[in-house]
Amino acid sequence: MIKVSNAEKLAEQAVAALKWEANFSPKPGLVTKSSNGSHKDMNIDLFIKSADSLYDTFLRIANVSKSIPISVVLREKVGAIGRDGEKAMLTATHGVNTHKGAIWALGIIVAVISNQSTTDMSIIFQKCGELASIADRYVQLHSKTTYGIQVKKVYKINGAREEAANGFPHVKTSLRLINGQMVTDQLAWLRVLCLLYATVDDTNVIHRSSLSVLRVFQNEAKQAFEAPVIQESLAFKQVTKMAEDYQISPGGCADLFAATYFLNNLVIEED
């Protein structure tokens, strides 16, 4: 029987995916090892610290998810651990929001892999949708108005919550595009990033600019995605310039990029 990695391995792989994403370059608007993008309060060291602070969160999620069926009980247990994870992140970063969206996306994915003990991606995405769609009473009780909620009040778009509830459609597409290619294939990964920039309605970008700016940004990213050599294309230069001009940062795309890497590199163990 094939058994998915144990809880420790899953947590290690989730942290590794976050560090890989932070280090990946270029990522217009986002923090990389060579640029702080559109950020004054973040840098690569902060992202690495933040990723390390989340190991216990992913480990607890993987452990709790082993034996409880997908249900409101599991959803609320994972939610409570996720909120503890947000606190751990804010302690590690002295109050800077580096990984809230990533805790959410990878938290749900880690929970499902541990729960289902499978590497079948269609099952993983379907069950992620089920788990993320279950209402967690404590989120309603404790959540203040977030940027995501504010943006969705104004525009009819899907944010982080819907991405997970719909079974991560953008991660599914990214995974198909990368199709098991190795980490070292930088150009292939840059294409994945451009496709995410082109298709995700990132609430961070809208919050810092507007929906119409996001649409232009997405259109440039789509052209960059289609270019034979992305980094040499005018469209990619435009994406970079727009990130600078509008100080926009597609943090939601970064999270889904990390989630794609995590699933593409999921290690399985045999009994």
Ligand X SMILES: CC(C)(COP(=O)(O)OP(=O)(O)OC[C@H]1O[C@@H](n2cnc3c(N)ncnc32)[C@H](O[C@H]2O[C@H](COP(=O)(O)OP(=O)(O)OP(=O)(O)O)[C@@H](O)[C@H]2O)[C@@H]1O)[C@@H](O)C(=O)NCCC(=O)NCCS
Ligand Y SMILES: Nc1ncnc2[nH]cnc12
Interface residues with ligand X (CB under 6 A) are 78-79, 82-83, 97-104, 107-108, 136, 139, 146-149, 159-161, 163, 200-204, 207-208, 249, 251-252, 255-256
User: Among residues 85, 129, 159, 251, which is the contact residue for ligand Y, using CB under 6 A?
Assistant: 251
Q: How far is the CB of 256 from ligand Y (least distance, A)?
A: 10
Minimum CB distance to ligand Y, residue 106 (Å): 11
Neighbours of 217 (CB within 10 A): 24
Per-residue DSSP letters for 123-136?
A: HHHHHHHHHHHS--
Single-letter code of the amino acid located at 246: Y
Judged by beta carbon, residue 233 or residue 248, the one nearer ligand X is 248
Per DSSP, 233 falls in state: S
In the stretch 136-175, what mask flags binding to ligand Y with x, by CB under 6 A?
----------------------------------------
Q: Which is nearer to ligand X, 5 or 65 (CB)?
A: 65
Range 73-112, binding ligand Y (CB under 6 A): 102
Among residues 110, 254, 256, 263, which is the contact residue for ligand Y, using CB under 6 A? 254
Partner in contact with 159, chosen from ligand X, ligand Y, none, beta carbon below 5 to 8 Å by kind: ligand X
Amino acid at 206: I
Cα separation of 95 and 132, whole Å? 26
Alpha carbon distance 246, 214 (integer Å) = 10
Tokens of 21: 């994403």
Question: Interface with ligand Y includes 249 (CB under 6 A)?
Answer: yes
> Whole-number minimum distance, CB 199 to ligand X, in Å?
10
201 binds, among ligand Y, ligand X, none (CB under 5 to 8 A by kind): ligand X
Smallest separation, CB 226 to ligand X (Å): 22
Return the number of other C-beta atoms located less than 10 Å from residue 100's C-beta. Answer: 18
User: For ligand Y, what does the binding mask look like between residues 1 and 40, x meaning CB under 6 A?
Assistant: --------------------xx-------xx-----x---
Q: Which residue is nearest to ligand X (CB)?
A: 148
Cα–Cα distance, 224 to 234 (Å, whole number):
8
Specify the 3-state DSSP secondary structure of 143.
coil
- Angstrom CA distances, 229 to 223, 225, 248, stand at 11, 9, 24
Cα 126 from Cα 113, distance rounded (Å): 11
Minimum gap (Å) between residue 30 Cβ and ligand Y: 3
Q: How far apart are CA 76 and CA 87, in angstroms?
A: 17
**Residue 257 to residue 237: CA distance in whole angstroms:** 20
Joined tokens for residue 35 = 């640029």
Among 9-17, 139-147, 224-232, 249-257, the segment contacting ligand Y (CB under 6 A): 249-257
Residues that bind ligand Y (CB under 6 A): 21-22, 30-31, 37, 47, 102, 249, 251, 254-255
